[in-house]
Amino acid sequence: MLRWGVLAPGRIAGGFVWALHQHTDQRVHAVASRAPERAQRFAATYGIARVHESYEQLVADPQVDIVYVASPHSEHKRQALLAIAAGKHVLVEKPLALDAGEARDIARAARAAGVFAMEALWSRFLPQTVLIERLLREGVLGDIRLVTADFGGRFDFNPEGRIFNPALGGGALLDIGIYPIWLAHFVFGPPAHVHATGSLAPTGVDGQAALILSYATGAQALLHTTLFAETPQEAVIAGTHARLQLDSRFFTPGGFTLKAAGSDQRLRWTDPSGIHGSEGLAYQAAAVARHIAEGLTESPMHPLERSIALLETIDSARGQLGASSRAS
Ligand SMILES: NC(=O)c1ccc[n+]([C@@H]2O[C@H](COP(=O)([O-])OP(=O)(O)OC[C@H]3O[C@@H](n4cnc5c(N)ncnc54)[C@H](OP(=O)(O)O)[C@@H]3O)[C@@H](O)[C@H]2O)c1
């Protein structure tokens, strides 16, 4: 069992702690906020023993084994480096950093310090993903020719909030577009070419984007994301033998349908765990604990190079859109 420290007790941090305590033997031992009363409230809500008055105090706590960084994207690099410099393992919310350059800095620091570091790309650890990995490895789908995936949601426009604010690393691609992009990388690895088109929000961040990723084999991924409208949030992995269709909200615990090519034969798989929605955040925490117990400093399931490659794709797409950011 690891003793977790939560750095930045916002919305997702609450979901993470709840999932961790409900579904794993991991325990959150400490929390820190920029405002001590927020940390006090969070600790009372989730039964956390220790409250720190600053992020610096949290990372220095000898009773914390691993720091969960759950702040806006603009802060990830600084706070991950803070924890790593204090000798702590880190789980950093997605995306690992604002851009690939920052992500490489985190990877370099973690490797030099010999601590475990991972991006909290929780979808990678869900039961359906573990099963799909096996189906792909065993060639059940044949040669994969196409991945389609989307994640659009309608967000109320707030120029100050982290979704639309360039100073906080806002924009569709970094926040939600990362899920379809991750699925394409999970299936194919990094693309040979990224073609992106889209539009900006009034604050200058990417509001909507459509991406075509192409690969040396001729395979493609067609992905889209928007902050302006709710889309089906579905994904398809199409191969020469069969096509796999993930249920809506493909990045959360759910099922899929496998359909044989050229026949009506269908196989349906549904997650039997009873773990729904953000409770699925528990899987990544359990995997992190397992990896650390095995003496690993990276997850073989979601290594730092994958997180860097995701950001290379996002950097390219944001560059093509002319999206503004505080990126280095
Ligand atoms: N895995 C998922 O399903 C999922 C879902 C949503 C979000 N996320 C990710 O989780 C991270 C946080 O998202 P969230 O929706 O939880 O954000 P949020 O509710 O706005 O909380 C972020 C927290 O960061 C802290 N913070 C530190 N520096 C800040 C700054 N300069 N401006 C604003 N807040 C700052 C604040 O806590 P204190 O001031 O109290 O320290 C704030 O409560 C992002 O990386 C996001 O992409 C993941």
Of 77, 88, 94, 259, the catalytic one is 94
**How far is ligand 1, taken at its centre, from the CA of residue 220, in Å?**
33
* pLDDT at position 327 over 90: no
d(CA 16, CA 70): 9
* Atom of ligand 1 at shortest range from CA of 55: 41
Q: What is the mean pLDDT of residues 179-195?
A: 98
**How far is ligand 1, taken at its centre, from the CA of residue 55, in Å?**
14
Q: Which residues are registered as beta bridge partners of 28?
A: 4
CATH class label, 125-280+308-321? alpha beta
Tell me, using a 6 A CB cutoff, whether residue 282 lines ligand 1: no
| Listed residue (306, 308, 287) closest to 296, CA to CA | 287
- Segment 248-282, tens digit of pLDDT: 999 999 999 999 999 999 999 999 999 999 999 99
Domain ranges for the chain? 3-123, 125-280+308-321
- pLDDT for residue 324: 79
Fold type of domain 3-123: Rossmann fold (3.40.50)
> Is the whole model's pTM more than 0.85, yes or no?
yes
Alpha helices in the chain (DSSP H): 11-23, 36-46, 55-60, 76-85, 100-113, 127-137, 172, 178-188, 281-293, 304-321
Quote the mean pLDDT of the chain.
97
Sheet with 89-93, strands from edge to edge, namely: 50-52, 27-32, 3-7, 66-69, 89-93, 117-120
Q: Which residues are registered as beta bridge partners of 242?
A: 260
Tell me, using a 6 A CB cutoff, whether residue 161 lines ligand 1: no
- Segment 52-106, tens digit of pLDDT: 999 999 999 999 999 999 999 999 999 999 999 999 999 999 999 999 999 999 9
**How far is ligand 1, taken at its centre, from the CA of residue 73, in Å?**
8
- Token couple for 328: 């280095």
